[in-house]
Amino acid sequence: MTKRLSDSEKAGNSSTSEGAISSIPEAFQTLADSEDEPQSPYQLSWKTLMAFVALAMANVCAALSNTTNTTIKFQVASLARSAADASLASWIANGNFLCSLALGPIFGSLSDRLGKKWFVAGGCLVGVIGSCVSGSSKTLNGIVGGNVLTGVANAGCIVSISCIQEIIPNKLRPWALGVSQTMASAFVVLGTFAAAAMVRDNTGGNGGWRWAYYFNGIIYGLTGLSVALTYFPPEPRLGRNKTLLAKILTDIDYIGILIMTGAFASLIIGLTWGGSTYPWSDGRVIATLVIGCVLLIAFGLFERLVVKEGILDHRLFQSRNFAILLLVCTIDGILLLGVNVLYSQEIFDLFTQDAVTVAVILSPYLVPSTFGCVPAGWIMARTKSYRMLLVLALFWCSLFAGLMGLIGPSRLNWAYGFSTMLGLGTAVTTTIPITALGLSVPSYLLGTAATISVSCRALGGVIGITIFTAVYNNKYASYVGPEAASAPVGPSHVIQSAEAWKYAWIVVACIVAANGIAACGLESVRAMMNGHVESALEGDKMVQSSSGTDSEPVSGDH
């Protein structure tokens, strides 16, 4: 049984928010009123905790797969036979990101209606296959193909982020996501060092990097088994009153899916081709970018004017938070994923070609994020506010990203110090936006909202890699000439390389600063930080409303 808060109780709770009822945005009060709370305190037992660990490991898998990108230089050096082969390097990372960002929202929307368990477990199974394909490949094309499968896997694994939020009371979500992101960050550090050690020791022969993929495949397999054995959620709210699978399938936004996928694919192909495979002025690059932009505009118009419950369900936009936080997540992808890949390449160029030493120099950027995610979640849970923390963290990241432009081959200590400070900021930008976004939308649409946000982060990663690579390549080529700049190994002109990397860091700093300004427009989610549990796993404690509130909502009512 659940209880509906009386008007006096709501007013009493609201009065604690910023000191006055008026401080709670109307949209969030409406959302809070629509979600029932357990009559007695909801107790988390071993069932929920075991499921939480398994689901957090699925999120780990999606993050861990990116650690193989830190060995791209070694993969290219091992298998590249020509400049054309070397140009495939960006696709090793982008093949994964492209599939994640294109399929993530599709899987999220379907999971809100069909259930999330088998999207996560099935994604882990595909991850095993993709990791084995990449690890056993004899060509760079084969690695790219395996990473495409890994991207499909990650699109399923990121559904786990919404699962974690659903099985935990709203007020504890910052804690839960803080722990989940800490686990992901810890495994990223572990995976980075493991991959580096395998390259250094030439584990299994052929460059050693192959076992970095096999290691990821093992984690995928164990995680998929754990999810299958521990996670048994109730039927999702959006599918609760639909007894036939055919009825659910007819509600899927197939046209929106096709337009969105085509838009993302065209944009990523154009961004990846430009400046590497073909010049930016080449007609093929221009055509794919124009097609991508046109399709993206068409997708927005279609979702706005034609459908109400499509990929961009209108109920997600009850407040301005959703749109702003999607922008924040996109730029966080530029910061987190793009910088992770490009900084490891800068280390290779300026300081060392030893894989383990590369990981050691990279770790001050990665480790602070591991220890900072839980405190960031604790602060949000304790204060029930997040905007000031997020804005300060973004400007902090902008400052130290700019200072990273000062490092050079004789300033390794500067690299350690500035990257540590940058890593501390990313702990906040990794945890807080996804938590705030989940509290800014109806809980029955968490799968859609979470996967869209993670897809935006993946898109940001692709954009970041493309922008930073283009900035670096253009500046470096202007210093040493295009022939020397196209060499498939580290640059021999280290001073000029450091100067070129400076401009990439300046771009990062400017983009992140603009993100901080945008985040100033976010609204409070205090009203939503209550005891509601969307998908309880504790049997008789499951939150079911007798008044019909937990049945499928109708978009026209919003």
Please say whether the dihedral angle defined by the alpha carbons of residues 99, 101, 107 and 110, taken in this order, is positive or negative: negative
Amino acid, res. 25: P
Q: Which CATH number fits domain 46-253+307-531: 3.90.650.10, 1.20.1250.20, 3.30.70.1290, 3.30.2130.10?
A: 1.20.1250.20
In this structure, the number of other CB atoms found within 10 A of the CB of residue 47 comes to 16
Cα Dmax for the chain: 74
Rounded distance, CA 519 to CA 137, Å?
A: 43
pLDDT for res 485:
60
Neighbour-count burial for 484-507, b at 16+ CB within 10 Å, e otherwise: ebeeeeebebeebbbbbbbebbeb
What is the three-class DSSP state of 384?
coil
CB 174, CB 119: distance < 8 Å: no
- 374-416 tens-digit pLDDT: 999 999 999 999 999 999 999 999 999 999 999 988 899 999 9
pLDDT for res 2:
43
Amino acid, res. 184: A
End-to-end CA, the chain: 26
pLDDT for res 20:
40
DSSP 255-311: HHHHHHHHHHHHHHHHHHHBTTTB-TTSHHHHHHHHHHHHHHHHHHHHHHHT-SSST
DSSP 6: P
Identify the segments of the chain with pLDDT beneath 50: 1-22, 541-551, 556-558
Please say whether the dihedral angle defined by the alpha carbons of residues 179, 180, 183 and 189, taken in this order, is positive or negative: negative
What is the phi/psi pair of residue 37, to 5°?
Answer: -120, 150
Rounded distance, CA 292 to CA 263, Å?
A: 4
Rounded distance, CA 132 to CA 125, Å?
A: 11
Rounded distance, CA 271 to CA 277, Å?
A: 10
Q: Which residue's structure tokens are 């052929």?
A: 206
What is the three-class DSSP state of 400?
helix
* Domain residue ranges of the chain, discontinuous segments joined by +: 46-253+307-531, 254-306
Burial class (CB in 10 A: 0-12, 13-18, 19+), 313: buried
Rounded distance, CA 475 to CA 272, Å?
A: 18
- Strand-pairing partners, residue 278, are 274
**380: its two tokens:** 């949000």
CA 304 to chain centre: 25
At CA 444, angle to CA 548 and CA 235, rounded to 5?
A: 75
CB 400, CB 422: distance < 8 Å: yes
What is the phi/psi pair of residue 531, to 5°?
Answer: -95, 10
Q: Which residue's structure tokens are 């966080």?
A: 332
DSSP 448: H
Amino acid, res. 67: T
Q: Which residue's structure tokens are 């690579």?
A: 469
CB 541, CB 34: distance < 8 Å: no
Give the Å distances, CA to CA, from 51 to 93, 174, 421, 465.
30, 17, 34, 34
3-state helix, strand, coil in the chain (%, to 5): 75, 0, 25
- 2-42 tens-digit pLDDT: 444 444 444 444 444 444 444 567 766 667 666 666 656 67
Number of H helices, E strands in the chain: 22, 2
pLDDT for res 18:
41
Rounded distance, CA 480 to CA 497, Å?
A: 9
**52: its two tokens:** 């939480």
